[in-house]
């Protein structure tokens, strides 16, 4: 399937995988935004241009953050070749067979 799938099984390995996935999503959202604020404020101090670079880089890095989240969620993924039945084994029915 791809994308974000939180497991509903109660064993401890799945809990660790779920925590790792949520941590990755949090970092992929927070780090670009924090980097945009930091770099923008440093550039504003260097060039003495009040909030110009801060706002521009905050906007750009926020968009980057949401694009990364979109990619991690799997919404943008199309059907990969590995998802298609490569053996031409039509035992799964017509829907599972591609070109039988």
Question: What is the Cα–Cα distance from 21 to 41, expressed in whole angstroms?
Answer: 31
Q: How many percent of the chain have pLDDT more than 90?
A: 47
Contact in structure between 39 and 24 (CB atoms under 8 Å): no
| pLDDT for 72 beyond 60 | yes
pLDDT category at 24 given cuts 50, 70, 90 is: very high
Question: What is the Cα–Cα distance from 10 to 2, expressed in whole angstroms?
Answer: 21
| Per-residue confidence (pLDDT) for residue 91, from 0 to 100 | 60
| pLDDT for 47 beyond 90 | yes
């Amino acid at each position: 399937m791809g994308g974000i799938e939180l497991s509903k099984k109660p064993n401890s390995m799945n809990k660790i995988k779920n925590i790792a996935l949520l941590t990755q999503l949090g970092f992929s959202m927070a780090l670009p935004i924090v980097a945009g604020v930091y770099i923008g404020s440093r550039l504003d101090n260097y060039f003495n241009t009040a909030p110009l670079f801060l706002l521009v880089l905050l906007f750009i890095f926020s968009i980057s953050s949401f694009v990364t989240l979109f990619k991690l969620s799997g919404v943008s993924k199309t059907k990969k070749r590995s998802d298609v039945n490569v053996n031409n084994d039509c035992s799964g029915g017509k829907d599972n067979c591609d070109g039988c």
